[in-house]
Amino acid sequence: MHIHILGISGTFMGSLALLAKQAGHSVSGCDTNIYPPMSTQLQENGIDVIEGFSADQIRAQPNLFIIGNAISRGNPLLESILDQGLPYTSGPQWLSDYILPNRYTLAVAGTHGKTTTASILAYILDEAGLEPGFLIGGVPQNFGTSARLGTTPFFVVEADEYDTAFFDKRSKFVHYRPKVAILNNLEYDHADIFPNLDAIKTQFHHLVRTIPSSGLIVTNSASLALKDVLDRGCWTPTIHFNSNDGFHLRPNPITNQTGIFLGEEDLGVLNWDLLGEHNYQNALAAIAAARHAGVSPKQAIASLKGFQNVKRRLEIRGIKNGITLYDDFAHHPTAIAATLAGLRSKIGSARLLAIIEPRSNTMKLGVLKDALGPSLNIADAVYCHAPENLDWDIHSALATLGQRAQIYTTVDSIVNAILQDARPGDHLLVMSNGSFGGIHEKILHALP
């Protein structure tokens, strides 16, 4: 089958393209503003990508078009597909129909940590010899790819609550019907499609309704929003993490090591390279889910010493003249604060310079603007890009930071400011869910 994917450079759709290719299909696609790591993966796998959405792409006569959720009515290729009555589907529906049947699906949902937790879970299963398939919205460095079919029934999927397609406004994850579901956390996000937190809770409860009674829900006991979701009705056994009666952390005051416990049972110490309390919680969730698949918690903990984080999650992009540059995907205030805290725990009192782009649809709408300044408080200096389409006052949002916050309208002006301010020993943390105009390469190239 020849499949043509509209919006192929998105993390989900690009990963879907890799699965389709591995399943033996002929795959092509189209998009705009294609950048690594997805562009690199597609190229390495021999998947042809066309720039733009010209209607003449239908001349290739694909058997099926898969429409990404970023594609809207008015798109010339989509309009041509509709006018000619050509077969199309959504990415989540194709995954459900062609990849997930008869699989032992483990889905990772939540506002934050989906990519990292899904990567941890896939790694634990793989180290246990279960050879899972997976679809993850990033590139786990242990695997070097965001998706693979796997050789066993086990399949890990990052379960996004964003909508499915222009014709299907349900969350993506309702299509997956998992055996095991991790509910990592739940906050208000995606303000472009959800009017409030209750609307997102409803979608999460739709997911809960699809999980069988023979399955498992792993949920964060610290989230009142998730408690509300489960209180609406739950038909599946539930285990908590971040709770004394479930999986939780206990620091040893003598050794200063972090122990993992299930109730009162000491499961061992997690020794790995990831930073931050939030990543320990991600690990707890993954360990709990892997237990249902037959991997003992002690085995899972031991295996994680070899886990490497996902690209664009506190990834060191380069070190020049004693200045270290990191890249991170953080774009929600909660994630920004957690990422900064994680890095601070590593570098101690060294100077931490945060470089941020409020690029997500939620941030552009200004819904979380009041939380942005406090989320950056741990940084010694903040350099913020103010996009042209920002309709709220970013100066007011960052006013609590005083002179530590500087706002710029262009990427090049931020680079110039960094060149003036940065000095050996500094740690520069770039946070954006996009390419940020290639700012990482520009900074590294400009540093002496």
State the pTM of this model. Answer: 0.85
CA distance 422 to 266: 45
CA distance 133 to 332: 29
CA distance 348 to 359: 29
- For residue 428, give the amino acid letter: L
Interval 21-59: pLDDT, tens:
999 999 999 999 887 778 888 989 999 999 999 999 999
CA distance 110 to 339: 17
Contact (CB, 8 A) for 275 and 308: no
CA distance 133 to 209: 24
* Both tokens assigned to 445: 């190239």
Per-residue confidence (pLDDT) for residue 185, from 0 to 100: 92
Interval 103-149: pLDDT, tens:
999 999 999 889 999 999 999 999 999 999 999 988 898 999 999 99
Helix axes 91-98, 11-22, angle to 10 degrees: 30
Strand partners, 405: 382
In order of their start, the domains of the chain are: 2-93 (3.40.50.720), 100-306 (3.40.1190.10), 315-446 (3.90.190.20)
Q: Average per-residue pLDDT in the chain?
A: 92
- Tell me which of 353-357, 379-383, 385-389 is least confident: 385-389
Strand partners, 163: 171
Strand partners, 55: none
Q: Taking the CA of residue 217 as centre, how many other CA atoms within 13 Å lie in the half-sphere pointing to its CB?
A: 27
As a whole number, mean pLDDT of residues 307-328 equals 88
- For residue 195, give the amino acid letter: P
User: Beta strands 163-165 and 64-67: pairing type?
Assistant: unpaired
Kindly list the distances between the CA atom of residue 123 and the CA atoms of 106, 128, 378, 395, in Å, as whole numbers in the listed order: 13, 8, 32, 42
Per-residue confidence (pLDDT) for residue 127, from 0 to 100: 97
CA 414, 315, 446 angle in degrees (round to 5)?
35
Q: Is the pLDDT of residue 361 over 90?
A: no
Per-residue confidence (pLDDT) for residue 34, from 0 to 100: 80
CA distance 247 to 239: 8
